[in-house]
Amino acid sequence: MPIARIDLVEGKSAEYRRTIADVVYDQMSKHLGVPEDRFQVITEHKIENFLYDPDYLGIYRSENCVFIQLSFIAGATTEQKAAFFKAVVDELHEKLYLRREDVFFHLFGVGTADWSMGNGVGTYNNGVPTNRLDPNSVPASPDGSK
């Protein structure tokens, strides 16, 4: 149920973009305790519409900068998030030679009431199933009907 938004300057190959998506997916499943379902959006921008501070906090970013935003049910610890950040930048550097300085993250930990997976129904209004993978274990409506 997490959703990932990946933004970058246009011009990279489909394989390059898919590699970023695959790395983010694999590492968020591994480090953030999120279920292994996949909802991702990759958006390319013209360079003039992709604005970033090239040296904020003394970290020098290039036009290859990638923004990664994740929304997921709150609960990951600071240590889990740090491990996720490091694993993603290390793997992107290894696979795509993407500079670690060029990967910018923003995580949103949200409540269970913030999700509707379809049908206009608050998917987790009755709580999140222990395994969070079986949609049949969560009633689709408050009265338990599907």
Give the integer Cα–Cα distance in Å for 67 and 143. Answer: 40
Question: Taking the CA of residue 14 as centre, how many other CA atoms within 13 Å lie in the half-sphere pointing to its CB?
Answer: 0
- By 3-state DSSP, what share of the chain in percent is helix, strand and coil, each rounded to 5? 35, 20, 45
Question: Is there a contact between 89 and 103 (Cβ–Cβ < 8 Å)?
Answer: yes
* Contact (Cβ atoms closer than 8 angstroms) between residue 21 and residue 42: yes
Residues noted as catalytic = 2
